[in-house]
Structure 1
């Protein structure tokens, strides 16, 4: 019984994450890759067939597989992430009033941008 409930929980999380990932492919500012990675992780525990389908998907699969195999991020995704992090930093600079919080958030976002930029790119990427 508990295994069935756990499996169902993973499956629900996988479908919700997949739905958000698909939506993120069309809605500006909504990320898709992170939701797809959560979807594959949850589907691997709730429905391995669904996880295999996501990995084989022509639009979403290559990014997920590149991350799983080598922690690779496509160049266009890196660029978009850095732009969005930069916009977030500018917004923080004008909206957060506590200087220590502002500094902490800006340093954290810069560190995240550096980490993203230093990830390898997929071997088959033409970017």
Structure 2
């Protein structure tokens, strides 16, 4: 079972890394999934990911406080707005736009209502 978790972690890590360049592919959820999979399978990979200078703080904030930093919230909501704007510019069918707007609205509200984390007040 260990190899299944490692494989899932590596896949999530690859998708999260691709999300850095692809605006519609979310990086953070994949990195959180990778951290969870590595926690079950590889302490070395888990420690590496938690210590990563870019991804580590976000993963630790979520793990320890179930928090999303204000900067990450702004970036996520900006990306969601841009994705919907692109869909509008492409002239997608109104049913697709309505579904996309609904999903993005729900997810955006959920993201916005998460705690900011311990360093937000500092």
Please state which band the TM-score falls in when normalised by the shorter chain. 0.7 to 0.9
The equivalent of 1:116 in structure 2 is 111
Task: Confirm whether residue 47 of structure 1 aligns to residue 47 of structure 2.
Answer: no
TM-score if structure 1 supplies the norm length?
0.77
Q: CA RMSD in A?
A: 2.3
Shift in CA distance, 66/96, structure 1 to aligned 2, threshold 3 Å: same
Task: Confirm whether residue 31 of structure 1 aligns to residue 26 of structure 2.
Answer: yes
TM-score if structure 2 supplies the norm length?
0.80
Aligned residues: 120
Gaps of 5+ in 2: none
Instruction: Quote the Cα distance in structure 2 between the aligned partners of 1:125 and 1:28.
Output: 28
Instruction: Quote the Cα distance in structure 1 between the aligned partners of 2:119 and 2:46.
Output: 22
Instruction: Quote the Cα distance in structure 2 between the aligned partners of 1:43 and 1:117.
Output: 28
Q: Give 1:126 deviation, angstroms.
A: 7.4
* Aligned with residue 10 of structure 1, among 5, 11, 17: 5
Instruction: Quote the Cα distance in structure 2 between the aligned partners of 1:119 and 1:64.
Output: 14
Gaps of 5+ in 1: 1-5
Q: Give 1:124 deviation, angstroms.
A: 2.0
